[in-house]
Amino acid sequence: MELAGSSALVVGGAGGFGSATVRRLARAGARVVIADMADDRGKELADELDGRAVYVRTDVTSEESVDAAVEAATGLGPLRTTVIVHGGPVAGKRLVNKEGKAYPVETFRRTIEIYLIGTFTVLSKAAAAMTRNEPLDSGQRGVIITTASIAGYEGQVGQTDYSAAKGGVIGLNLTAARDLAPAGVRVVSIAPGVFFTPAYRMEEEQAQAMWGKGVPNPKRMGSTDEYARLVLAIADNDYLNGEVIRIDGALRFS
């Protein structure tokens, strides 16, 4: 995928994975829309990139909001790369707690809405915009990269809603790639393991001590730039399609 002269949309672009990805895409020549709800961080990143990126406040649970982000991207150039890497609340509670109270259905529903339905909303809207692009010499019109998680395969205690949502992203991937194949739009998903991001709300040294030692090799948490570099590799390689790529240092949750 040719990034120079094109636009890119990064949903969750002000977060840890997202900001690293925005920087990499901008350096590669794309003009980037930072779509997020973290206004201060999004605007600060746009200012840092000095005209190569713009911030657009975006709520993935609102079709109108996603439409506006896609429109902003297409206004910067042909939208050829979309990365869906937004976060959201994770309750981290068991199905039934020690008092015998069931996990709230509304909390489960909200997690699915943000992580799975939100991913589908962005994917479908971005894909529709990409189908209107002129094809490159390769016949390709765009690539959409979603973000799953190894929790979608091996969910841990307290992750019923998050694991179900990320498992849904995994299940969506191949069918979406097949649906969009005639239009020359690829779909690939990244399933990260344990990566240090601001979501941990602790110092990196503390997080590494808690989580990094469980990773087989390299024996540390991943860095957000390693995620971003994988995004660039996927964008560059047209034969990567319909695949879920684990990036986890061989970690398998038991």
Q: Is 227 a catalytic residue?
A: no
Higher pLDDT pick, 45 / 203: 45
Q: Which two tokens stand for residue 227?
A: 């995620």
Which residues sit opposite 53 in a β-bridge? 32
Q: What is the pLDDT of residues 138-180, one digit of tens each?
A: 999 999 999 999 999 998 998 999 999 999 999 999 999 999 9
Q: Is the pLDDT of residue 236 over 90?
A: yes
Task: Tell me how far CA of residue 21 lies from CA of 11, 28, 30, 49, 225, in angstroms.
Answer: 10, 11, 11, 12, 7
pTM more than 0.75: yes
pLDDT at position 197: 86
**Mean pLDDT, range 31-60, rounded to an integer:** 97
Q: Which of 55, 115, 162, 227 is catalytic?
A: 162
61 within 8 A of 120, measured Cβ to Cβ: no
Strand segments, DSSP code E, in 37-141 are 53-57, 79-84
State residue 90's pLDDT score.
Answer: 79
Phi and psi of 46, rounded to 5°? -60, -40
Residue 13 pLDDT class (50, 70, 90 cuts) = very high
Largest CA distance in the chain: 62
Nearest Cα to Cα of residue 189 among 139, 150, 136, 131: 150
Structure confidence at residue 198 (pLDDT): 79
Q: What is the mean pLDDT of residues 13-27?
A: 97
Other CB atoms closer than 10 Å to residue 37's CB: what's the count? 16
Interval 99-104 mean pLDDT:
94
| pLDDT band at 91; cut points 50, 70, 90 | confident
Cβ 130 vs Cβ 80: under 8 Å? yes
Q: Environment class of residue 200 by beta-carbon count within 10 Å: exposed (0-12), middle (13-18) or buried (19+)?
A: middle
What local confidence, expressed as pLDDT, does residue 205 receive?
A: 85
Beta carbons of 13 and 35 less than 8 angstroms apart: yes
E strand or H helix at 188: strand 185-192
Nearest to 127 by CA among 171, 86, 54, 66: 66
Q: Find the helix or strand (DSSP H, E) in which 191 lies.
A: strand 185-192
Q: What is the mean pLDDT of residues 53-70?
A: 98
Q: Domain boundaries in the chain?
A: 7-246
Please say if the pLDDT value at position 210 is more than 90.
no
Q: pLDDT at position 38, please?
A: 97
Query: Does 3.40.50.720 match the CATH number of domain 7-246?
Result: yes
Average pLDDT estimate for 72-87: 97
